[in-house]
Chains A and B, each alone.
Chain A
C-alpha cells in the first residue's frame, strides 16, 4: 500500500538572471524574435534593408552590393538595454545583451560583378523564465525554483552574386542555408533541505539543430541619380529541426513564409534624401506547425527615414540620419499581435575616402523603441555599430 502526500503550489515570483543572453522576452513566442540582418545605416534610417542609396553588403538585399568595386568587409554589433513590465504583480525588470546580427564580405568577380558571403541572424530564441514556489511535503513546505531556459537561434549563411546591368539597374541573387541550434531546458531546484539532505534538481530538456534553404532575388533601379527603387523576394524551404540522439522531444518542421521587400530613396534637396521601405510576409502557414501559441498571419514592417548627407566632421563625410520604423512581430504569445515601434538616429563617419568612396568607416545608430502586446511591454535602447573596410 503506497501512501503519498500531494500538493504543489507556486506562490511567489522572483527573477534571477540565468546565464543566457538575448534581446527580448518576445523570444519566448513561437519560433522566436525575428532579427533582421541590418547594418547601422539601415537601423538609423528605420529602413527594413531595401532601397537605400549607395552600395552596401545587405544580406537581404542582394542587389545592394552590385555597386561595390573593391573587396569589402562589414561587421555589425548590436548591444541593447531592455526594460519590461506587465508580467504578474511584480513582473518588471531589466536586462541587456549584445548580438552580432550580420557579418559579410564582398569580392569582385572578374569585372562581371560582386560575389558576397554573409552570415546573419534570423530568429533569436534566447530567453529564460524563472519562478519561485513551494512544494508541500508531509513534514512541511519546501521552497523550489522553476526555471526554463531557451538558448539558441536561427541563422543563415548566404553566398550571393550581384551585377550592374546598365541603365541604373542592378540585380542580385543569393543562396542561403539555415543553420543554428537551440537548447530548451526545464529545471526545478529545491532550495529547502529535507531532513539534513538536499533534494536533487529535476531537469528535462532537449537539443535541436536547424536546417533549411533560403533563396533571395533582388533588383534595384537608379532613376536619374535622384531616385532609387528596389525590391527583393525571399523564399525559404521548410525549416527542419532535428533532435539530438538523447533528446526525447520530437523533430519538427515549420513552413517559412515568402518575404517581399520594397523600398526606395529619393533626393529631396542637395544632401538630403528621404528613404522608405516595407517588408511583407504571411506566417499563416506556420500556425499549424506550432505546438503552442500562434502566428500573427500577415504582417508588415514599415520604415521611413531622412539622411543629411552633406554633414562633415574635420573634412570627413559624416552623414546624419533619422528614422522611424514600425513592425508586426510574427508570433503571438498573449492573444494579440505584438508590435514594435522604433525611433532612431545615427551617423556615419568615414575614416578614409578615395574619390568620394568610403574605404574605411563606421556607422552608428541609436534606437529607442517599444515592443508590446496586450500583456507584456518592453522599452529598449538599442545601439548598432557597423564597421566597414574596403580595398584590402
Chain B
C-alpha cells in the first residue's frame, strides 16, 4: 500500500511536470492586435540624400592584375601590349646518368626555347585567329610603374620609353593564335635570346607581346619560358626546364579620362567613386508616406528596415566594356579629407562574401540602364542611431569600388546625378503607433 501512496505522489509530480513544456496562447487573427504597423517603400532623389560625388583613379597597377591585355585598335581606339620578365632560370636539374643514377647537374647549356603565352578565352573578344608578335625589350623598365609612354616612374626617377608603347624591341617572330585549336601561342627563341633573358643584371631584359590583328582585345593569363637544356652528365639528351614570368604587366593607350557626369569603378589602374550620403532625419512626404505612416515621419534605426543605393548602369567606353561579370563593393571612407589615400572601413556587403555584388557585363555594354541595388542598411541605421543617441555621427562618405583592385582593364559605369536616371536611395520604412498598456 505504501507503493500506492508513492505512486500517487509520483503521479502528482508527473502531472505537474507534464505541462512544463510550455506552449503559447497564440491567436492567429489580427483582431487581438492592440497595435498595427504599416510599411511603405520610398525612394529619395539624389539631392535629398547624397552630394559631393567624385571619381578617383590610380588605385593599384596593371602589374598587380596577374594578367596582361593585348589590343590593337580595339573599339577603334585601344592599343595594349604585354610586357614580361622571366625570373631566375633554374641553376641545376636532376639527370639520370648512364648508370641509371639520378644526379644533380649545375653545368647546364641552354640550347633553345619557347615563349608560351596562355590566353583567358572568356575575357578575350576574338572568335577567330589573330596574329601576334614577340619582341625583346631594349630599354630599362619597371613593371609596377610602366605605362604606354613611361618605362620607369618611381620616386626621383622618371624615364620615358624611346618609343611610346614600350619600344623599341628586337623582333623575335610572329605567330598566329586560333582559339579553336587551343588556348596558347608558342614562339620559338634561340639560345642567344635565352641568354639575354637570363641576365638578371640587365634591367632592360624582357619581352613584349604585340597584337597585330585589328579590332580585338585579348587577355593573357600567364607567360612561361620553356628552355631546352643540355646537361653535362648526359650531353646526348635534352632536358626541358620552365621559367615562368616573374613580372607581367601591360601598357595601353589611350588612358581613359574620369567621367564628368557618371560613376566608374574597376579598371587597371582601378577607379573608385566616392560620395557623401546623409539621409534625412524626418520625412514630410511624399503623400503616400504621410497617408500611411503619418508626417512628419521621424526616421529611426528601427523605422528603416532596408536601405539601398540604386544605380542605373550605362555603357562603358567601348574599349573598356567588361566581358565578364563585375563585382561591386561599398565601403565607408574613414577620412574624406585624406582621399585618395583615406583608409576604408569594412565592406557593407558582408552577405555577398568576398566577391562582392556581381553584375552581368551586358549591363555596361549591350543592355545598359539596369537598376543595380547596393544595400547599405547598416550604414544608414548607424547614422540614425548616432542621431538618436546624440553621439558623434559616423563617417558619411561611401566608396564604390571593386572587391579586388585591379581585377580587369574594363570598368563598370553608372549614371551620375543630374539626370533622370540619377542614383536614388531606396528605403523600406515601417512604423506604427506607440505600444501602450490596455
- Listed in ascending order, the chain A residues whose CB lies under 8 Å from chain B are 1-6, 8, 10, 13-25, 27-31, 77, 79-82, 84, 87-88, 90-91, 93-98, 126-131, 135, 137-138, 144, 146, 148, 182, 184-186, 188, 190, 194-206, 208, 241, 248-250, 252, 290-293, 313-316, 331, 333-334, 349, 351, 362, 364, 375, 383, 385, 387
- A200 and B306 contact, Cβ closer than 8 Å, known pairs A3-B43, A129-B33, A208-B437: yes
B419 CB–A CB distance under 8 Å: no
Minimum C-beta distance from B298 to chain A (A): 12
B19 touches A316 (CB 8 A): no
- A250 and B436 contact, Cβ closer than 8 Å, known pairs A97-B22, A362-B9, A385-B12: yes
- A364 and B15 contact, Cβ closer than 8 Å, known pairs A186-B432, A188-B39: yes
Across the interface, name the chain B residue whose C-beta is closest to A249.
B436
Q: Can you name 5 A-B residue pairings with CB atoms under 8 Å? A: A80-B19, A97-B19, A148-B33, A194-B428, A351-B9
Minimum C-beta distance from B265 to chain A (A): 18
Q: From DSSP, what is the main secondary structure of chain B's interface residues?
A: mixed
Chain B 1-35, CB-CB to A under 8 Å as 1, else 0, gives 11011001100100110111111111111111111
Across the interface, name the chain A residue whose C-beta is closest to B376.
A197
- A249 and B27 contact, Cβ closer than 8 Å, known pairs A188-B430, A196-B351, A362-B8: no
Could you say which of B27, B43, B430 contacts A127, with CB atoms under 8 Å apart?
B27
A202 touches B12 (CB 8 A): no
Q: Which of B215-230 contact A (CB under 8 A)?
A: none
A15 touches B377 (CB 8 A): no
B432 touches A127 (CB 8 A): no
Minimum C-beta distance from B333 to chain A (A): 21
A90 touches B434 (CB 8 A): no
B16 touches A129 (CB 8 A): no
Could you say which of A13, A16, A202 contacts B302, with CB atoms under 8 Å apart?
A202
Across the interface, name the chain A residue whose C-beta is closest to B42.
A4
Q: Return chain A residues, CB-CB under 8 Å to B16.
A: 77, 79, 98, 383, 385
Q: Return chain A residues, CB-CB under 8 Å to B20.
A: 79, 98
Minimum C-beta distance from A28 to chain B (A): 5
A129 touches B40 (CB 8 A): no
Q: With the chains together, A218 CA to B405 CA distance in Å?
A: 84
B19 touches A98 (CB 8 A): yes
Q: With the chains together, A285 CA to B40 CA distance in Å?
A: 41
Could you say which of B34, B38, B286 contacts A8, with CB atoms under 8 Å apart?
B38
- A97 and B25 contact, Cβ closer than 8 Å, known pairs A148-B32, A200-B306, A383-B15: yes
Q: With the chains together, A95 CA to B21 CA distance in Å?
A: 10
A20 touches B37 (CB 8 A): no
B29 touches A1 (CB 8 A): no
